[in-house]
Chain A
Amino acid sequence: MAEPLLDIRGLKTWFKTDDGMVRAVDGVDLHIDRGETLGVVGESGCGKTVTARSVLKLIDMPPGRFEEGKILWQGRDLIPLEQDEMNKIRAREIAIIFQEPMTSLNPVYTVGDQIAEVIELHQKLSRKQAMAGAAEMLRLVNIPNPQRRVNDYPHQFSGGMRQRVMIAMALSCQPKLLIADEPTTALDVTIQAQILELMQEMKERFGMAIMLITHAMGVVAETCQRVTVMYAGKVVEEAPVEALFGNPRHPYTQGLIRSIPRVDRAAEKKQRLEAIAGTVPSLLDPPPGCRFASRCKFAMDVCTQAMPPLKEVGPGHYVRCVL
Chain B
Amino acid sequence: MIPSLLGISIVLFSLLAMAPGDPFEELATNPAIPPEVRANLRAKFGLDDPVWMRYWHWLIAMMQGDWGFSFVSRMDVSTLILQRLPVTLVVIGASQILAIAVALPVGVLAATRPYSLFDQIANTFAFIGFSLPTFFTGLVLILIFSIQLDWLPFVYRADISATGWAFYWEHIKQSIMPVTVLGLFQGAALVRFVRSSVLDVIRLDYVTTARSKGIGERKVITKHVVRNALIPVVTLVALQMPIVFGGAVVTEQIFRVPGIGSLLISAMLANDTPVVMGVTFVSACLVVLFNLIADILYGWLDPRIAFR
Contact = CB atoms under 8 A, between A and B. Distances in A.
Contacts of A106: 206, 209-210, 224, 228
B293 interface: no
Interface string A87-119: 111111001101010011111101000000110
B205 A107 contact: no
A31 interface: no
Interface-central residue, A83, A87, A106, A169, by most chain B CB under 10 Å: A106
Interface in B209-242: 209-217, 224, 227-228
Contacts of B215: 87, 117, 121
Contact of B213 (A84, A90, A155): A90
Contacts of A56: 212
Interface string B29-61: 000000000000000000000000000000000
Contacts of B214: 86-92, 118, 121-122
Contacts, number: 69
A92 to B, nearest CB: 6
B212 A103 contact: no
Given A106-B228, A107-B303, A117 B213 contact: yes
A275 interface: no
A58 B208 contact: yes
B304 interface: yes
B205 A98 contact: yes
Contacts of A108: 227-228, 301-303
Contacts of A104: 205-206, 208-209
A90 B212 CA distance: 6
A153 interface: yes
B287 to A, nearest CB: 27
Contacts of A155: 303-304
A98 B210 CA distance: 12
A146 B208 CA distance: 25
Interface string B192-209: 000000000001111011
Given A58-B208, A100-B205, A107 B213 contact: no
A98 B209 contact: yes
Contacts of B304: 107, 153, 155
A100 B213 CA distance: 17
B205 to A, nearest CB: 4
Which among A86, A92, A100, A108 has the greatest number of chain B C-beta atoms within 10 A? A108
A174 to B, nearest CB: 14
Nearest to B227: A108
A39 to B, nearest CB: 21
B63 to A, nearest CB: 41
Contacts of A121: 213-215
24 contacts: A53-B208, A87-B215, A90-B211, A90-B213, A91-B212, A91-B213, A92-B214, A95-B212, A96-B212, A98-B205, A103-B205, A103-B206, A104-B205, A106-B224, A107-B302, A108-B228, A108-B301, A108-B303, A110-B303, A117-B215, A121-B214, A121-B215, A122-B214, A153-B304
Given A106-B209, A108-B302, 5 more contacts: A88-B214, A103-B204, A118-B213, A155-B304, A169-B209
Top-7 shortest CB links A-B: A90-B214, A87-B214, A103-B205, A106-B206, A91-B214, A153-B303, A91-B213
